Every structure is written in C-alpha cells, then in structure tokens.
C-alpha cells in the first residue's frame, strides 16, 4: 500500500517477535497498511516477545488513555550470574554458587509464590527512565554510575511453570504485575534473596491490560492482508480496551459530537441511565461500530476529552 493516510483507524494487538524493537514493529505496520500515523503502547525490549498494542490512524490518540496498567509475563530466570543489564544481553558483573535446593520444584514453587504482594524495587540501570533529561541507558552506556529511585510496585500473582537443570538452573515463572514493574529487577533481586545471583534470560508478555496473546496478530499475517475487512476483522474493540461505559449516539448527537458541542448525558448503549456517573467520569461515544470520542460528565452534560470525527473502527459492543 502507498505510504500516507490510509483511512484506517483502529487498534491492533501485534505479537512482537524477538529481535525487533517496538519502533521496528511500528515501522512494519506503517508499511503494511500504507499509514504514517502508527504508534504503540507499552514498550517491549528487542529481547522480549509478546503482546504489543498498536494504534493506527486516529487510534494513535487513544494510546495514552488505555488502561493497560497490569501486565502478565512468562519469564525465564537463570541463576548463577548477574549482568550489567539484568538480562542476558549484558556483561556478567558477578557470579555466585547456586544452592542445590533451588533445583527442587517444591522449593522453587514456594519461593516464587512468596513474591506476591507490594514491594519496592530499583529499576535496572539500563532502562528508559529519564534522569536529568537523559535516558538511564545512555548514561550507563557512557560509563556513568546510574542510581535510580526505588519504585513501589505490586506483584499480583506469581507461580512456577518449570525448573530446567539441563544447562545450569533456569526457572520459568508466570507473573502478573502492576504498571512500572521491571521483570529484570525481579530476577536480579530473586537471585540476591536466595544467596546467589540471577538474571532474566527470556521474557514473553502474555497480556497487556485486557488484551491477551490469543487476540494477537503476527506481522507476517498483517503483511499478507490486502483487504480492509481482513484487517478490521482482527482489530481490537477500542471500548473494551478503554474499559469505559458506552453512550450510544443518534444521528443528531453525532453531528454535535463531531463539532465538539456538549450533549446530554443520556442512556448507556446497553440500556439504563448514565446519570449516576460521578462528575468527570468518562464514557465512550459510539455509533454503528465506531468510537467517535471519549467524553466526560460535566453536570448533566457530556463534554469532549478527545473527539475522533471519522470514528475509530472495531466497536462490537
């Protein structure tokens, strides 16, 4: 397709392959759809694979509104060494003996389960966190000593999937974590707490907020699609991703919404009033399979937070 404006506005879940950056994925989606307006939510490192939510066309403006705070991962943690990046990409900075008991499944399962709950963690020095206007990884690469502030995060669920002793000791864990959690830090800190050393040697994101890997599209699948209908059949419902009530629009409402004029609070699409919503609560403005705006309650009216005059496709509710 010709690069420019394709007329497509939708959210897609891409299964990011290993070896590509999140920006690489954006560039491939641009080429596949002939659309320059493409962005992503929730960066994944090149060494990680899995769910990457991508916005196309007007849907790029939705990315900052999505409630993708919690994430699920399958992580592989190798014991015996720490690295400069806390994953397999970095140089080994410390080695330590691995207690034999850590190879026992019952012990490993108990240790992983004990991770659940709120905790404080120091992000990896090689991270995208900004320090005085520069990315931490830029400072670390130039040889600076990077000290990042502690983050308060929550591990909602943690379970052991497998213990592999065929080449050293590797635990595979399933993790459900809050926004801002670094799985690399979990691996590093786990090794230290066990009296040894560890780093992350594999990571797959299995869900981002409500978006799971089962709805993902591979880049190869997307690149083979030639019809808009094929793309839209795999698009995410933007209202599901936003997790907001729906306000169905009449033809007259739609004209007002496109012009940014306030409208009455009205009825939820599934039936029932929206009057009980708190002030400043947000709703999705929808009509005939498209999202035309995210608006908020002001008194007994709805006012625009973001308006999408052409509509974001994929609404199925």
Q: How far apart are CA 86 and CA 201, in angstroms?
A: 9
Q: What phi, psi does 168 have (nearest 5°)?
A: 80, -160
DSSP-assigned beta bridge partners for residue 176: 72, 157
Helix (H, G, I), strand (E, B) or coil at 33: helix
Residue 237 in tokens: 């419902």
Q: How many CB atoms lie within 10 A of CB 273?
A: 10
DSSP character for 130? E
Strand pairing category for 198-208 and 71-79: antiparallel
- Please list, in sequence order, all residues whose beta carbon lies within 8 angstroms of the beta carbon of residue 271, skipping any fewer than 6 positions away: none
CA 209 vs CA 14, 115, 130, 228, 240: distances in Å: 14, 20, 24, 26, 10
Helix (H, G, I), strand (E, B) or coil at 118: strand
* Whether residue 86 lies in the annotated active site: no
- List 15, 45, 86, 240, catalytic entry: 45
Q: How far apart are CA 25 and CA 45, in angstroms?
A: 11
Q: How far apart are CA 43 and CA 54, in angstroms?
A: 10
Cβ distance 119 to 178 under 8 Å? Answer: no
Q: Which residues are known catalytic residues?
A: 45
């Amino acid at each position: 397709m010709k690069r420019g404006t394709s007329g497509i506005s939708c959210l897609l879940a891409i299964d990011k392959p290993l070896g590509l950056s999140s920006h690489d994925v954006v560039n491939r989606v641009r080429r596949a759809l002939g659309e320059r307006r493409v962005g992503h939510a929730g960066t994944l490192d090149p060494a990680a694979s899995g769910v990457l939510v991508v916005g196309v066309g007007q849907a790029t403006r939705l990315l900052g509104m999505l409630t993708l705070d919690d994430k699920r991962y399958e992580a592989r943690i190798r014991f015996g060494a720490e690295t400069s990046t806390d994953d397999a990409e970095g140089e080994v900075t410390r080695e330590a003996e691995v207690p034999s008991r850590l190879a026992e499944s019952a012990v490993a399962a108990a240790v992983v389960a004990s991770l659940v709950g709120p905790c404080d963690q120091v992000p990896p020095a090689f991270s995208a966190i900004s320090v005085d206007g520069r990315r931490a990884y830029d400072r670390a690469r130039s040889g600076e000593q990077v000290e990042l502030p502690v983050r308060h995060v929550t591990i909602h669920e943690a379970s052991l999937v497998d213990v592999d002793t065929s080449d050293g000791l590797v635990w595979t864990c399933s993790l459900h974590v809050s926004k801002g959690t670094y799985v690399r830090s979990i691996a590093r800190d786990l090794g230290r707490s066990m009296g040894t050393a560890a780093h992350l040697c594999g990571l797959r994101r299995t869900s981002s907020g409500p978006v799971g890997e089962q709805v993902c599209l591979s880049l190869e699948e997307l690149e083979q699609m030639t019809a808009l209908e094929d793309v839209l059949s795999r698009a995410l419902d933007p209202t599901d991703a936003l997790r907001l009530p729906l306000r169905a629009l009449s033809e007259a409402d739609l004209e007002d919404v496109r012009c940014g004029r306030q409208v009455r609070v009205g009825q939820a699409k599934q039936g029932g009033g929206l009057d009980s919503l708190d002030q400043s609560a947000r709703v999705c403005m929808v009509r005939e399979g498209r999202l035309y705006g995210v608006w908020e309650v002001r008194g007994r009216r709805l006012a625009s937070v973001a308006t999408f005059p052409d509509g974001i496709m994929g609404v199925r509710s």
